[in-house]
């Protein structure tokens, strides 16, 4: 299936993509800013995400919290999210409310700062700290998504540090930081606007020009430090963490090719072979046959610059020790490394990925998000329509080539969570980063 795509660029640099579909009387508006935690300054971790919250606090013509009020009153849904390389904002509204959604997005892109106050910053800082407590500190294994990147990326690398940030850095964030961040990154030439669903393209184009056309272009953003990394870690970095959990869990990360490259598609299929749903290799062997694991999954982080990660996540059964868990997962990866995949495994993985993709495209919101993603990373929203074919052309040989070059022992970062009660037995390694090759 192919979706219709129009694209154009305003004089101020804003890239716009449109995809019309009249199935349901709703329209999705989606704005990606090409800025994420990778763009943060040292000592300001978590700032991109804190800033995402501030964008809902009103702008010159929109009162505090009015963005949510107006969209919800119109029967719409909305939110925003922050990732390592981008921040996005999105609304899905009844078709006749397209102008409202565009007006709201334009007002904050054009005029956020007049509405900023210290009090708003202080409250949202508290909210974000509570988000951190909720998603990281008070969640079993919740620290994994800040600990794994520290293992997998060197300290100076933009992907190394925590996305949600440390409590200390969040406390330090000031209004001046807000102003600088806004002026540097929240500019039309650093953004992509996508509209998908039930709308008239001619009208939408007119509205976009009216609301966004007069917003001045930015002055450019600082270049990121070099992102390129060698294809493998060159060793097996390893971190053992004791946590308030009942069962051990292991995260295994492989440095992998960046999102969108040919090798990325092979990596993605390999991930599905390993851990996508119940027919996958690791589920069958570790959960079903050997019954040493309670659950398993595998996925990529989809990073478009430098290096991506392929991650395997396995939770132990109550009777499985951390050592056994690590050994069993290692044995499976070794077997994959030496024997490769079968064509039936590839066929299964591609079928599942393609069905998921088609299903996602039913949703206007998903469609707009993917258009923005491909436009932001590659300036080519049309790539949305080429994904199924790219997956379809992944072969056994290409996946095996990926496996031989990336899944060896010199490219496995291990993050192992152990229950606190078990901590004494492993006291020597707790919290220590061990760079030596695994035995």
Partner 1 sequence: MATATTTDAQKTFDRSKIPTLGPPSKVSLPPIVTRQLSNGLKLMIVEQHEIPVADFILVVGGGGTMDPSSKGGLANLTATMLTEGTTSRTSLQIADQIAYLGVSLAAGSSWDASTLSLHAPTAQLDSALALFAEVALKPAFPQEEFERIRKNRLTDLIQLKDRPTAIASQAYASILYGSEHPYGHSLIGNEGSVNAISVADLKAYYRSNFLPNNATLIIVGDVKPAQIERKINAIFGSWQRGSVTPFTFGAAPKAEATTVYLIDKPGAAQSSFRIGSIGVPRSTKDYFALNVLNTILGGSFTSRLNQNLRETRGYTYGARSAFDMRRSAGPFTASAEIVTAKTDSGLIEFFKELNAIRDTVPAVELNKAKRYLQLGLPGEFETSQQIASQLVPVALYGLPLDYYNNYVQRIDAIGQADVQRVARQYIDPKSLAIVIVGDRKSIEAGLRAVNAGPLSIRDFTGRPISQ
- Residues from 76 through 105 that contact partner 1 (CB under 8 A): 76-77, 92, 94-97, 99-100, 102-103
Supply the Cα-derived Rg of the chain in whole angstroms.
23
Closest CA to 53 of 101, 120, 134: 120
DSSP notation for 168-228? HHHHH--HHHHHHHHHHHSSGGGEEEEEEES--HHHHHHHHHHHHTTSPP----PPPPP--
Question: Does 2 interact with partner 1 (rule: CB under 8 A)?
Answer: no
What minimum distance in Å lies between the beta carbon of 372 and partner 1?
Answer: 16
What minimum distance in Å lies between the beta carbon of 232 and partner 1?
Answer: 30
Of 308 and 313, CB closest to partner 1: 313
CB-side exposure of 80: number of CA atoms within 13 Å? Answer: 22
What minimum distance in Å lies between the beta carbon of 62 and partner 1?
Answer: 9
- The only residue of 229, 231, 235, 279 in contact with partner 1, by rule CB under 8 A: 279
Contact (Cβ atoms closer than 8 angstroms) between residue 416 and residue 240: yes
- The only residue of 26, 170, 204, 329 in contact with partner 1, by rule CB under 8 A: 26
Of 277 and 404, CB closest to partner 1: 277
> x/- string (CB under 8 A) for partner 1, residues 191-230?
-------x------xx-xxxx-xx----------------
Q: Looking only at residues 393 through 432 of this chain, which bind partner 1 when binding is defined by CB under 8 A?
A: none
Structure tokens at 138: 């008070």
Structure tokens at 208: 């976009």
Q: Which stretch binds partner 1 (CB under 8 A): 245-253, 258-266, 327-335, 400-408?
A: 245-253
CA 426 to chain centre: 33
Closest CA to 294 of 303, 302, 286, 284: 286
Q: Look up tokens 């978590």; give the residue.
A: 46
Structure letter (DSSP) for residue 36: -
Structure tokens at 425: 């037995």
- The only residue of 52, 107, 263, 313 in contact with partner 1, by rule CB under 8 A: 107
Question: Does 284 interact with partner 1 (rule: CB under 8 A)?
Answer: yes
Closest CA to 300 of 311, 289, 291, 315: 311
Question: Does 24 interact with partner 1 (rule: CB under 8 A)?
Answer: yes
Question: Does 63 interact with partner 1 (rule: CB under 8 A)?
Answer: no
CB-based contacts of 355, cutoff 8 Å, min separation 6: none
Of 130 and 180, CB closest to partner 1: 130
What distance in Å separates the CA atoms of residue 365 and residue 77, rounded to the nearest whole number? 10
Q: Which stretch binds partner 1 (CB under 8 A): 173-181, 222-230, 243-251, 261-269?
A: 243-251
- The only residue of 335, 351, 425, 433 in contact with partner 1, by rule CB under 8 A: 351
What minimum distance in Å lies between the beta carbon of 198 and partner 1?
Answer: 8
Q: Which stretch binds partner 1 (CB under 8 A): 34-42, 74-82, 147-155, 299-307?
A: 74-82
Q: Distances from the Cα of 222 to the Cαs of 55, 218, 225, 439, in angstroms? A: 21, 12, 9, 42
Q: Which stretch binds partner 1 (CB under 8 A): 302-310, 335-343, 360-368, 422-430?
A: 360-368
Question: Does 118 interact with partner 1 (rule: CB under 8 A)?
Answer: no
Structure letter (DSSP) for residue 427: T
Contact (Cβ atoms closer than 8 angstroms) between residue 186 and residue 151: no
What minimum distance in Å lies between the beta carbon of 87 and partner 1?
Answer: 18
Of 160 and 317, CB closest to partner 1: 317
What distance in Å separates the CA atoms of residue 427 and residue 358, rounded to the nearest whole number? 49
75: alpha, beta or left? (left if phi > 0; alpha if psi -120 to 50): left
Q: Look up tokens 């935690």; give the residue.
A: 37
Q: Looking only at residues 153 through 182 of this chain, which bind partner 1 when binding is defined by CB under 8 A?
A: none
Closest CA to 210 of 99, 131, 72, 135: 99
Question: Does 274 interact with partner 1 (rule: CB under 8 A)?
Answer: no
What minimum distance in Å lies between the beta carbon of 229 and partner 1?
Answer: 32
Of 12 and 405, CB closest to partner 1: 12
Question: Does 117 interact with partner 1 (rule: CB under 8 A)?
Answer: no
- The only residue of 75, 216, 225, 226 in contact with partner 1, by rule CB under 8 A: 75
Q: Which stretch binds partner 1 (CB under 8 A): 122-130, 322-330, 333-341, 401-409?
A: 122-130
Q: Looking only at residues 297 through 336 of this chain, which bind partner 1 when binding is defined by CB under 8 A?
A: 315, 317-318
Of 184 and 354, CB closest to partner 1: 354
What minimum distance in Å lies between the beta carbon of 408 and partner 1?
Answer: 27
For helices 66-73 and 98-110, the axis angle rounded to 10 degrees is 170
């Amino acid at each position: 299936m192919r979706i219709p795509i129009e694209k154009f660029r305003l004089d101020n640099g804003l890239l716009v993509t449109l995809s019309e579909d009249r199935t349901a009387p709703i329209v999705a508006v989606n704005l990606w800013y090409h800025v994420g935690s990778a763009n943060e300054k040292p000592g300001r971790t978590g700032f991109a995400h804190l800033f995402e919250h501030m964008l809902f606090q009103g702008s010159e013509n929109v009162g505090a919290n009015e963005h949510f009020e107006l969209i919800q009153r119109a029967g719409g849904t909305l939110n925003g999210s922050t990732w390592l390389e981008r921040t996005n904002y999105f609304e899905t509204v009844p078709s006749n409310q397209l102008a409202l959604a565009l007006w709201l997005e334009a007002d904050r892109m054009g005029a956020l700062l007049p509405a900023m106050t210290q009090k708003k910053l202080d409250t949202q800082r508290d909210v974000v700290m509570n988000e951190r407590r909720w998603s990281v500190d008070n969640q079993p294994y919740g620290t994994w998504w800040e600990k794994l990147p520290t293992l997998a990326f060197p300290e100076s690398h933009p992907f190394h540090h925590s996305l949600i940030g440390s409590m200390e850095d969040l406390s330090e964030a000031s209004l001046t930081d807000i102003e600088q961040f806004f002026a540097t990154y929240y500019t039309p030439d650093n953004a992509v606007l996508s509209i998908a669903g039930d709308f008239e393209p001619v009208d939408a184009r007119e509205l976009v020009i009216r609301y966004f056309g007069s917003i001045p272009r930015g002055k450019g953003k600082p270049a990121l430090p070099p992102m390129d990394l060698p294809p493998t870690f060159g060793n097996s970095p390893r971190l053992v963490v004791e946590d308030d959990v009942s069962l051990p869990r292991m995260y295994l990360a492989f440095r992998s090719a960046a999102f969108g490259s040919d090798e990325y598609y092979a990596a993605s299929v390999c991930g599905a072979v390993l851990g996508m749903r119940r027919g996958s290799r690791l589920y069958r062997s570790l959960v079903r046959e050997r019954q040493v694991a309670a659950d398993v999954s595998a996925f990529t982080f989809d990073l478009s610059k430098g290096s991506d990660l392929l991650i395997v996540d396995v939770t132990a059964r109550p009777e499985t020790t951390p050592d056994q868990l690590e050994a069993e997962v290692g044995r499976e990866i070794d077997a994959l490394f030496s024997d490769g995949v079968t064509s039936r495994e590839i066929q299964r993985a591609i079928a599942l990925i393609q069905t998921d993709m088609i299903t996602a495209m039913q949703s206007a919101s998903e469609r707009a998000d993917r258009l923005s993603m491909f436009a932001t990373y590659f300036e080519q929203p049309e790539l949305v329509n080429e994904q199924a074919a790219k997956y379809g052309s992944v072969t056994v040989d290409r996946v095996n080539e990926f496996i031989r070059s990336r899944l060896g022992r010199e490219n496995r970062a291990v993050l192992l969570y152990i229950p606190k009660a078990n901590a004494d037995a492993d006291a020597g390694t707790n919290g220590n980063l061990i760079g030596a090759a695994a035995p």
